[in-house]
Structure 1
Amino acid sequence: MEFNHFDIRGNAVMVDVSAKQATMRTATAAAEVRMSGELLTAIRTGAVIKGDVLGVARLAGIMATKKTPELIPLSHPLALHSVAVDFEQDQAGGRIEVMCTVRAFERTGVEMEAMTGAAVAALTIYDMCKGSDKSVTVDNIRLLYKVGGKSGAYRRDEER
């Protein structure tokens, strides 16, 4: 397996994307937040003492996508054109699926921005709920979909 974040001497480098063609790039990533059914009900009904958990988590996820180059050392600063953070609630499973979709017309992909947004939104849910239930977990941060660039489209097969 070859890694492009290292030079011939093994030193970490930022990949040179200057010769690449800018294309519309889209990526969607997800993270799971697991909790008790009671806590999920409290989130859904607005009964969590810290306030609108999902509203704050949405803003945190959007803000995190813009900070990705400050958090991931070799990622490129990108001009993001669209960021959406959405939530699917599974009451029976005690789970919130956080999904972050990022779009940009750029020379490199937006996968790291989408994954950072999903992760930070999920961690924000944890932070706002830890006073009520410390057993909340954040799991399964993953890329679901990406398109744009020469490597083409990727869609995760969730059955794997």
Structure 2
Amino acid sequence: MRMLALLLNLLWLFLFGWAAALGWLLAAVVMVITIVGIPWARSALTIALFTLWPVGRTAVDRTLLTGREDIGTGPLGTVGNIIWFVLAGWWLALLHLVVGIGFCLTIIGIPFGFQHFKFAGLSLAPIGKEIVDKDIAEDLRRRAYG
């Protein structure tokens, strides 16, 4: 399974991942330049790095990972995610959804379409999330929810 994930990640990176990462990186830079957007820049940078190597990894709430609440996972994180959703999240999610549907129109593109669907969900509320391997995410969820 690891070889398949490696192959899919390499295909993703060379076919589209670099462009998606570049877009998210540009968004992070713009957010830092505006100064007002600095709280959202970390999330955009996290997603930019995630778009480079997405297969076999997923986003989890940081409280599951650390076992404690922080500024991004508490009430300020919720407010930040609401602001993000209104200003950028919905159209980024829509873009990933449309691209994902386009990829799913071909059989070979289905795995890449699913990656875009994953990014669409993450684009809606990225603050307070960390990217981990799927195995780690399963262990965290099992411990947290029984």
Give the TM-score of the pair, scaled to structure 1. Answer: 0.33
Report which structure shows greater RCO (CA 8 Å, sep ≥6).
Answer: 1
Greater per-residue strand proportion? 1
Give the TM-score of the pair, scaled to structure 2. Answer: 0.35
The structure with the largest alpha-carbon Rg is: 1
